[in-house]
Amino acid sequence: MKKKSIIQKKTDWDRCYLCMLLKDDYTEKHCETHHAFDGVARRKKSEAEGLTVRLCVPHHREGPEAVHRNRQMMLIIQRAAQRAYEKDHTRQQWMELMRKNYLEDE
């Protein structure tokens, strides 16, 4: 079952999460849904837990800052996902779900 994003506000759902976060730019409206975690099983968990954001094409898959090409950009999303999840869950629950602490190097 798909759950609405717990990372990105509903009012900003038609805007690029990274444009807003990194550039304070709220203008990009041509966005695609991005799952914070890849791989079939983790993608399903992302959908079920609301660990999704909307990204413009350059931030999603085509530019130098695209999360599918740039590990640092992907890590920004994954850390945001963990922070959002841990607002209502414990670290232990996160570790049971995703098996990795993305916040350990902060």
What pLDDT, on a 0 to 100 scale, did the predictor assign at position 1? Answer: 62
Give pLDDT tens digits for 28-80.
888 999 999 999 999 999 999 999 999 999 999 999 999 999 999 999 999 99
Cα of 44 vs its chain's centroid, Å: 13
| Predicted model pTM | 0.92
- Residue 96: phi and psi, rounded to 5, are -65, -35
- Sequence-ordered list of residues with C-beta below 8 angstroms from that of 7, at least 6 positions apart, any chain: 17, 36, 50, 51, 52, 53, 77, 80, 81, 84
Burial of residue 9 (number of CB atoms within 10 Å: 0-12, 13-18, 19+): exposed
- Residue 20: phi and psi, rounded to 5, are -65, -45
